Amino acid sequence: MHAEYVIIGAGSAGCAIAYRLAEAGKKVIVVEYGGTDAGPFIQMPGALSYPMNMKQYDWGYESEPEPHLGGRRLVTPRGKVLGGSSSINGMVYVRGHARDFDNWADMGAQGWAYADVLPYYKRMESWDDGGHGGDPSWRGKDGPLHVSRGKRDNPLVKAFVEAGAQAGYQTTDDYNGEQQEGFGPYDATIHNGERWSAYKAYLKPAIASGNVTVVRGLARKIVIEDGRATGVEIERKGKIETIHATEEVIVSASSINSPKLLMLSGIGPAAHLQEHGIELVADRQGVGQNLQDHLELYIQQAATKPVSLFKYWNLLGKAWVGAQWLFTRKGVGASNQFESAAFIRSKPGVDYPDIQYHFLPIAVRYDGQAAAEGHGFQAHVGPMRSKSRGSVSLTSNDPSDAPKIKFNYMSHPEDWEDFRICIRLTREIFAQDAFAPYRGHEIQPGADVQTDAELDDFIRDHAESAYHPCGTCRMGKASDPMAVVDPECRVIGVDGLRVADSSIFPRITNGNLNAPSIMTGEKAADHILGKAPLPRENVGPWIAPNWEESQR
140 annotated as a binding-site residue: no
Q: Within a 10 A sphere around the Cβ of 64, how many other Cβ atoms? A: 16
Cβ neighbours of residue 184 closer than 8 Å, sequence gap 6 or more? 161, 171, 172, 173, 174, 175, 340, 341, 342
Residues recorded for the chain: 552
Is 92 labelled a binding residue? Answer: yes
User: Is the N-terminal amide bond of 445 cis, ω within 30° of 0?
Assistant: yes
What separation in angstroms does the CA of 217 have from each of 137, 233, 400, 447, 521? 42, 10, 11, 52, 21
Quote the CA–CA distance of 403 and 409 in Å, as a whole number: 18
Strands of 107-175 (E only): list them. Answer: 125-127, 145-147
CB 186 within 8 A of CB 206: no
What is the C-alpha separation between 167 and 428, in angstroms, rounded?
7
Q: Is 244 a catalytic residue?
A: no
For residue 436, the number of C-alpha atoms closer than 13 Å in the C-beta half-sphere is 4
**Paired residues of 222 in beta bridges:** 232
Q: Which amino acid is at 37?
A: D
E strand or H helix at 522: helix 514-528
Q: Annotated binding residue at 89? A: yes
Tell whether 157 is in a known binding site: no
31 annotated to bind ligand: no
Residue from 97, 380, 468, 527 carrying the catalytic annotation: 468
Nearest to 338 by CA among 20, 90, 13, 162: 90
CB-count burial class (<10 Å; 0-12, 13-18, 19+) for 519? buried
Residue 73 · residue 61 · CB < 8 Å: no
What are the CA-CA distances from residue 139 to residues 124, 148, 178, 188, 339 (Å)? 10, 12, 10, 14, 19
**Helix pair angle (155-166, 413-430), 10° resolution:** 110
Q: Which residues are annotated as a binding site?
A: 81, 89-92
Annotated catalytic residues are: 468
Q: Which residues are annotated as a binding site for FAD?
A: 81, 89-92
